[in-house]
Amino acid sequence: MDNIRKYYLVHSTYANNNCFLAPYRGSTYHLQEYRARRGHPQTQRELFNYTHSSLRNAIERTFGVWKARFRILKCINNYPIEKHIQIPIACVVLHNFIHMYNRNGDLLNQYTRDGVLVTEIDLENADQDVNQNHNPDRATEQNHNSANRRAMNILREEMTASMWGALEAYRNR
């Protein structure tokens, strides 16, 4: 279990580092772009970006469902920081409990199909993105750790090649 690595799937304006895994710049990324051209990923980088985008979309949909169900997650309140930490955890536990005992819940079923955009779930936050509070000065500080960026770029290349190999093997069977 110690060999399991965890990464944040981040927007392309963030740099890869030891915990951020960004998509390739300059390649098709958003699911809507793939749908618009009615095509599948054509290159290794597009396949990686498509998978990255699909995962980010699923994560964002989950947050949208939680925010639709638990309004406390949408508002800024004056609770102490200890409560701020506990509120999302409590909401997740309650959500999982509800889902476990009510599999036919309308709210969850409405948004679980693949490809539902976050904007369709949470209209009030439609313009927000992971990168909304991006601070260029902080990004410059992070860029100093070029060894971590190179290592993550190598890992991303390895993941990309592995995914492409698996797709090619699937197509050729």
In a domain, 71, yes or no: yes
In a domain, 58, yes or no: yes
In a domain, 27, yes or no: yes
**At residue 96, what is the residue type?**
N
In a domain, 73, yes or no: yes
Q: What is the span of the domain harbouring residue 12?
A: 8-171
% pLDDT > 70, the chain = 74
Please indicate, yes or no, whether the overall pTM of this predicted structure exceeds 0.85: no
pLDDT in tens, 125-136: 444 433 334 455
In a domain, 28, yes or no: yes
Residue 83 class from Cβ within 10 Å (0-12 exposed, 13-18 middle, 19+ buried)?
exposed
Q: Collapsing DSSP states into helix, strand and coil, what is residue 111?
A: helix
Residue 147 class from Cβ within 10 Å (0-12 exposed, 13-18 middle, 19+ buried)?
exposed
pLDDT in tens, 44-94: 999 999 999 999 988 888 888 888 889 898 887 888 888 888 999 999 999
How many domains does the chain divide into?
A: 1
